[in-house]
Amino acid sequence: MRPLLLCIALLALPSLAHAQGTLAPGGAPAQSMRSLHQIEPRTPLGAVGGSTLTIAITQPGSYVLLGDITVASGNAITISSDHVTLDLNGFTLSSSASPTAGIGIYGGYPASSHVRIRNGRISGTGTVSGAGFSGAGFLSGIAGFAHSVVTDTTVSGVSLSGISLGANSRVLRSTVRHCGANGITATQVADCSVSACHRIGIRSPDNEPSLVVRSSSDSRTTGILATVVADSRAASSTDIGIDTTVVRDSYGQASTGYGIKTTLALNCTGRTLRNTSEESAGLSADIAVNSYGSTAAPYSVGLSAQLAALNCTGANTAAGQALEVTAGVAAFCRGNISGGSATGYYAIEALNAIGCTASGGTISAPKKFLGTP
């Protein structure tokens, strides 16, 4: 009986399969993807092949450049509205003004805000040497913006500042070369490079806490001036390589002055190449941890800490102090004096020395612990 019922059920399956009726084709698939213009409508600016006229943006929106802009004087682009996105589309804004005049992209005064500028170049013919700036071009590359962002942009050959932004601003993945004043001014700077600037390479807006990460700077006065610096390198030919409150995993160098000057240094290296006064050190901090400071000058100190140096090394390749802690503890530190007479100088000088060693000099400390000689 059961085999008979199974056969009847199997024979009924084809009829049940056709119980849904016929399936009519649904027609051609409808377009479901939106174009870039539909996602972000953009207004074209300039002309294919280039133009020589200043462009004025007066309304919020998204804009894209169609070609290079070359001006003989004045600004290349002015933005007098907030909430603007400007894509330079890989093109160049340049000026032949001599003496220098105008700004590559200007936001006005008071500054325009919530502006995004990306993907382009601003250039003049000027260069910077020890005497300062010389050549033709813009006064500044980008200026007159706050609460704004500049990304993937290169500025070169301007007589004043490269990229100068106000409060709550960011500059990302950008390059500044040969400017007569400061290189980049912004609240946050990341993955940027500055070279051959006559004043400060990377700095914060006035009275603004700031952060610089994964960036490099080579300038005449201060390389990087910011609240917090991480994973960065900076050099100065006259003053301070990195001037900050907290610095981590960074390198600072100065021809004279301080390689790094900070409150807290973690895993850092600071160098002073030469010196003409006692006010200098390879690395100067209130607290230094896992850091190295060196100097080639007899009147300066390799590593100087106010309160504590922990697992640090100070070196002086001339006759002078290698490592000093003026009011605290040197713990597991090393001091090395080489290349000159160590008479009258200490490899390490501190109130308390714990587990420290010295080469080419002695250790001066009222209290010594854990085998400190």
Query: For residue 286, which amino acid is it?
Result: D
Is there a domain that residue 13 lies in?
no
What's the number of domains the chain is made of?
2
Q: Checking DSSP bridges between strand 127-129 and strand 132-134, what pairing results, if any?
A: antiparallel
Cα–Cα distance measured from residue 112 to residue 80, given in angstroms and rounded to the nearest whole number: 6
Report the Cα 15 to chain-centroid distance in Å. 74
Domain coverage including residue 313: 227-373
Cα–Cα distance measured from residue 175 to residue 196, given in angstroms and rounded to the nearest whole number: 11
CA dihedral 336, 337, 343, 345 (to 10 degrees): -60
pLDDT in tens, the chain (373 residues): 444 433 333 334 444 444 445 545 555 555 555 555 555 689 999 999 999 999 999 999 999 999 999 999 999 999 999 999 999 999 999 999 999 999 999 999 999 999 999 999 999 987 887 777 888 899 999 999 999 999 999 999 999 999 999 999 999 999 999 999 999 999 999 999 999 999 999 999 988 999 999 999 999 999 999 999 999 999 999 899 999 999 999 999 999 899 999 999 999 999 998 765 567 899 999 999 999 999 987 778 999 999 999 999 999 988 788 999 999 999 999 999 987 655 668 899 999 999 999 998 899 999 999 999 9
Same domain, 220 and 264: no
Is there a domain that residue 1 lies in?
no
Is there a domain that residue 19 lies in?
no
Tokens of 192: 């940027």
Tokens of 33: 């993807």
Residue where a domain stops, chosen among 169, 202, 225: 225
Query: How confident is the model at residue 8, as a pLDDT?
Result: 37
Q: How many CB atoms lie within 10 A of CB 312?
A: 30
The Cα angle at residue 63 between residues 57 and 64, in degrees rounded to 5: 125
Residue where a domain stops, chosen among 203, 225, 247: 225
CATH code for the domain in which residue 184 is found: 2.160.20
**26: phi > 0 → left, psi -120 to 50 → alpha, else beta; which?**
alpha
Residues 6 or more apart in contact with residue 27 via CB below 8 angstroms:
none
Residue where a domain stops, chosen among 209, 225, 241: 225
- Report the Cα–Cα distance between both ends of the chain, in Å, rounded: 104
